[in-house]
Structure 1
Amino acid sequence: MDSMQIWWSEIQSLLLSIGFMVLGFFFHAFITRTNAMAASQRGKIILDEAEKKAKAIEHEAEVKAREEVLAAREKAEHSLDKKRQSIIELEDRVVAREKDISRKLELLETKDRTLSEKLDKAEEQQETIIEQKKVLDERIAQENQRIQEIADFSKDDARKIIMEQMETELEGEISGLIRHQQKTAHEQARAQAREIVCSAIERYAGEHVSNITTTQVQLPSDDMKGRIIGKEGRNIRSFETESGVNLIIDETPGVVLLSSYDPVRREVARVALERLLEDGRIHPASIEQTLEKVRSEINELIRQAGEDALYNLGISGVDPELVKILGRLKYRTSYKQNVLEHSVEMASLMAMMAADLDLDVSTAKRVGVFHDLGKAVDHEVEGSHAVIGANLLRKYGEEPIVYNAVAAHHDDVEKNSVYAVLAAAADAITAARPGARLDSTDLYLERLDKMEKIAKSFKGVDKSYAIQAGRELRVIVEGKQVDDNRALVLAREIANTVQNEVRYPGQVKVTVIRETRAIEYAK
């Protein structure tokens, strides 16, 4: 029994071991299969990812290749466009050069035709001259032969006699023409006398020069320059803005410059700056107040100056705005002259000339005093001062004869009255008189000396004198060398030479004096 149990137990143990072995085998097979399936799955996944990466790399390579192809194509097209543009430009230059060559060929052909025509004409003229020269040589030879036969003169003596005869005849003809013109002028009717006198006076007309545009202001000390400038330039900017004038501060000791084309603004700035320097308080507020106060005072002085000028001339009925504009000329200079004083003087001169010519004195005065009115605003308005002044006179109701004379006194428009001629003449007279304009003594003496030397350079002149401040040149000639006919011609020749070689205001009168003195002594 016990052995059977033991045997059975061993058999159970053996069966159990076999069962476990079978189960272990199947479990191991299951695990192996499972692992194999998992490995197969992972391999498949890895293959799929590898395929995807391969496709991505392939796609990226295709895109990159396509981009490189496009870039290469664009580069090639750009290069082709540049070459095409270069070819087009070259073609344009070639076409332009062909046109230029064609034009030059046409010009050359035209010039060639013109030159050929001129050569033909020159040849014709040369032939004509040769024929005339032959005729002239024959006549000269005949005359020389005749003279030599008559007087037994040499060829040179005959030529000298002929030349002297021709000079004498020509001088006689010229002096006859001069006398005829003088006689004709004296025989003109009284109706034409006014125009002749005015035309002669008109020769006084002169030229223009530039005007002063800066004013100096003296400083008590150079320390004031810093106070004028102010902190960070505050004071100088305020002064220039409020006054409309440029304030120039440089290294020049003791002075500053005010620069402006407007003389009234420049005067306001000068007075205001002097008051600020005297007061010592220089800041934007005081600058503005001082300028405003000075501006009011200057405007009143301007109006008063215009009224005084018109009152002294006896002119009335002038628009108040014209009076103010006229007064502004008090602060305007030209040729170193004060323009308002120059205008008053010109009005007086025109009045005297108008009275001598039986013209309206009142109209002449108005033309004279208003002739430079445009200079008061010529820095603000485009055009010449004569035309600007005429436009102002037209605007404020002056008569057409007045504003035409003002516009025409420098030949900007056509003169349509005798007052315009008088205005041009009087304007030049006020400038040409001695002392009217700045002229150094050296230049004045040099001009007189040059005029006298010109006169002495002519044959037959004994002495010459420049008198009346260079307005007249008196020439004394030798009576034996210069006859009456030659004296007339000599005066004209000297006048032309002076006109061409000497610069002078107005006109110069050349007087040639010839006299014959017979002297005997009683014993």
Structure 2
Amino acid sequence: MGVIYGVLLLVLCFLTTYLITKNFWQKKYEEEVRKFNEYQKKIKEEKEKEKLKLIEELRKELEKEKIKILQEYEAKLKEKNKELEKLADTYKQKEKEYYFYLSQLQKKENELLTTEKIYKIKIDYLDKLINEYHTRITKIPNLKIEELKEELKRSLEKEVWNEHFEELKKIKEKAKNEVQILAQKIILEACQKTALPVAKEHSVSFLTIPNDELKGKLIGRKGRNIHLIENLTGAEIIIDDTPQKICIFSFHPKRRALAELLIKEIINEKEISTEIIEKAYQKVLKDFEEKSFQIGLTVCKELGIENFAQELIKTIGEMNFFVTYGQNLLFHSKEVAIIGKNLAINLEINPLNVIRAGILHDIGKILPNQENLPHQTIGANFVKTFEENNIVIEAIAHHHQTDNFPYPECYVVSLANSISHIYGAGKAIDFDEIFKKLIKIEELCEEHQLVKKAYAFQLGREIRVLLKTNKLDEKEGQFLIKDLQQKIRNELNLLGEIKINLIYEL
């Protein structure tokens, strides 16, 4: 019996110990769980605070960038507005002068017509006198009437001419001088009107992209990508709110072409980084040089030129991307070579040197000009480094002279250059009509009461309209666009699409 009690007691002690131990570890476990949950909650709160802080920093940074871009855009817009207003004032002043000289010319023409009428009256009077003399003379017998009549007529003509010769001479000289002045005014006015469109044509390129989302990728964080592209190519990249358009600005055609090729190369990349841009630029530059070399090689083969250095051939190819006096520089140089060849053959001069000098005569226009030298001197010095024939070098150096040529070939190249420029000027585009049409389009848009200012681009096919209000909804905006398009078509008889972008005032 004692054994049973002992066993029971032992079991009871074991159970008691187990329950106490279980309760102790259960409380410890719950305490650890509670601490873990508090620690996890604390970490979550810290991460949330850090996330909110980062979002706030990004928001402030984007806000600053937005303000900066808006300020730059407004500054450029104001500058363009001032330029256009100044150009409009100049145009109005020249128009007033033109009409003034036109009225003066009309006045002189009326004076000449009046003088002509007076002379006609005098001639009629003289004819009457002659008839009277004729009647009287017929009454006198044995006289040669025809001889007397001719003598009398010559005498009267001489007397009238001597009497009014100085006056007629003065009128003619004065009219000639006034016509010369008027012609000069018209030519200067035409030059001023065409200066802006020509500058735009030869300094700005527009690149079309698939969608506007690519603009942000192209700009990069804080503008890193776009600044790197500008530094590498030397061209200015303008990205504004024009849908699916990027503007590339540079007066240097090669830089503009490289920038366009580089953007086309990287635009379809999933991610654009500085490393990708630099790698793509090296590829584009290599492709550009190879393309220039092939163009130069093709031209040399067409002209039958041999033994040119590879650097010279590549530089000749690069002339294809430059313009001189409205002509493609390579086409002009090739034209000079062909014209010079024909002149040399007819003058019995060796045409080979003339062809070589003709294709190279303007090569100095695309070379760096560190010392501000004339392009013919730069070109001659550059060609001299390749041990070219001295006749060719002298022809390049003297192609703008009119006398004192060291070789006959120099005269032929100079003459061929002048002929090419004259021929090219005859094929120039009439920018005056284009400029007038753009001005008219802008005036028609600005006649609307909601329009503050209008700017026409791409030969009038794209118009940016700055509104006086920002309270137009989408329907009202589309109605305004339709109204302006219809007005322009009716007034100017334009066919095809006219794209109008509305810019709301902030």
- Report the TM range for the smaller structure's normalisation: 0.3 to 0.5
TM-score (normalizing by structure 1): 0.43
Give the TM-score normalised by structure 2. Answer: 0.44
Q: Which has the larger radius of gyration?
A: 1
Could you say which structure has the greater relative contact order, defined with CA pairs below 8 angstroms and 6 or more residues apart? 1
